[in-house]
């Protein structure tokens, strides 16, 4: 009898343990079936600051020589240009209207020209208005890689200029004209048949202001 009783207790032990294993396996499967949590997000930020001392910088050639004419009793013209520099030829361009916008504003800009009346040493003059004009506003090209070429927004050529009055001759639309770039600029002088012979000179003053 004791031997039989021991046998029964021995047989029940593995059965209980087997049931426990089965229960543990079932629990493991339930845990594995829980849906994964939705992904979490990260907010990324970046602050870009304008260069210290950022500004609008402008440079132009020191002189501009118009071809001479011989009076012949008819109205004539004489034209001259700043030739400019090829794209990515280095900064600044010494042969063109060179603009370097490091403000970081993206506001655009415009180049204005004022000139003194053409005069000879004998005080003969060309008319203050109707004499000088800017004939074209060609596209700017980058002096170095990475600039944003100026896109003309408001200049309509030819631009009739009046002595002593600043007038826009080149410009960059908002969002363009960032970095270092240059352009040619083409000028023409109207010479009436009644002009007095002589060597005429003038001072051109270029300025740059923010906004097209």
pLDDT by 10s per residue, the chain, length 212: 444 444 444 444 444 444 433 333 344 344 445 555 566 765 564 555 555 557 899 999 999 999 999 999 999 999 999 999 999 988 889 999 999 999 988 899 999 999 999 999 999 999 999 999 999 867 789 998 888 878 877 788 899 999 999 999 999 999 999 999 999 989 999 999 999 999 999 999 999 999 88
| Per-residue CA distances from 34 to 22, 25, 159, 186 (Å) | 20, 15, 75, 76
| Per-residue CA distances from 128 to 71, 112, 125, 189, 200 (Å) | 20, 17, 8, 11, 13
Omega prior to 158 cis, within 30 of 0: yes
Residue 41 is predicted with a pLDDT of 62
Residue 30 is predicted with a pLDDT of 44
8 A C-beta contact, residue 129 and residue 162: yes
Model pTM?
A: 0.74
């Amino acid at each position: 009898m004791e031997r039989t009783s021991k046998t029964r207790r021995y047989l029940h032990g593995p059965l209980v343990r087997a049931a426990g294993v089965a229960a543990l396996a079932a629990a493991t499967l339930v845990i594995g079936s829980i849906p994964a949590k939705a992904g979490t997000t990260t907010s990324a930020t970046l602050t870009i600051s304008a260069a210290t001392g950022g500004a609008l910088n402008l440079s132009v050639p020191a002189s501009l020589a118009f071809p001479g004419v011989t009076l012949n009793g008819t109205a004539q013209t004489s034209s001259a240009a700043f030739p400019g520099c090829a794209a990515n030829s280095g900064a600044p361009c010494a042969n063109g209207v060179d603009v370097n916008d490091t403000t970081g504003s993206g506001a655009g800009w415009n180049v204005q020209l004022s000139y003194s009346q053409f005069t000879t040493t004998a005080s003969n003059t060309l008319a203050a208005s109707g004499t000088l004009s800017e004939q074209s506003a060609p596209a700017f090209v980058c002096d170095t890689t990475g600039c944003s070429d100026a896109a003309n927004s408001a200049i309509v050529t030819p631009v009739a200029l009046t002595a002593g009055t600043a007038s826009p001759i080149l410009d960059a639309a908002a969002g363009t004209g960032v970095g270092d770039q240059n352009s040619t600029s083409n000028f023409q002088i109207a010479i009436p048949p009644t002009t007095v012979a002589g060597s005429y000179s003038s001072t051109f003053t270029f300025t740059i202001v923010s906004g097209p």
